[in-house]
Amino acid sequence: MSDNPVIVLPRGTKIPDHIALIPDGDRRWARAKGFSPLEGHKAGYLALKSLARASRELGVHTLTLWGFSTENWERSSKETENIMNLARKMIEDFMKEAMKEGVRFVHLGRKDRLPS
């Protein structure tokens, strides 16, 4: 664990082996704050990045993220492109850290729709 943990848990807390997340609400959060959907997606990306780091530090074995549903493709092409750009950055950032720490990335789903 790092010298400055992201999350501090009460003594005796059991850490789950697997956490599954369905990120939702980036656009609603952004609208409520007066921001663009892109700003909401960026905030969601930063939150996921922090969560992934904290999960590793706490010893969570598996972190599963639901990334993008088929319904999301019906959004505007600009929003979809922005989300795919963030996904590309998230995967690149994750892979850099994963290689250092021996973490693996497994993609489940249509690879033909992943950003190149």
For the chain, the structural domain boundaries read 18-102
Over pLDDT 90: what percentage of the chain?
24
Q: Is 1 exposed, middle or buried (0-12, 13-18, 19+ CB in 10 A)?
A: exposed
DSSP code for 72: G
> Average pLDDT of 15-20?
94
pLDDT at 26 over 50: yes
Residue 1 confidence (pLDDT):
46
State yes or no: is 24 an active-site residue: yes
Q: How many helices (H) and strands (E) does the chain have?
A: 3, 2
> Average pLDDT of 42-67?
88
DSSP code for 11: T
The chain-wide mean pLDDT, for the chain, equals 85
Query: Strands, E, within the chain: which ranges?
Result: 18-21, 62-65
CA distance 85 to 88: 5
DSSP code for 75: S
Which residue in the list 3, 17, 24, 26 is annotated as catalytic? 24
Fold exhibited by the domain 18-102: Undecaprenyl pyrophosphate synthetase (3.40.1180)
Residue 35 confidence (pLDDT):
97
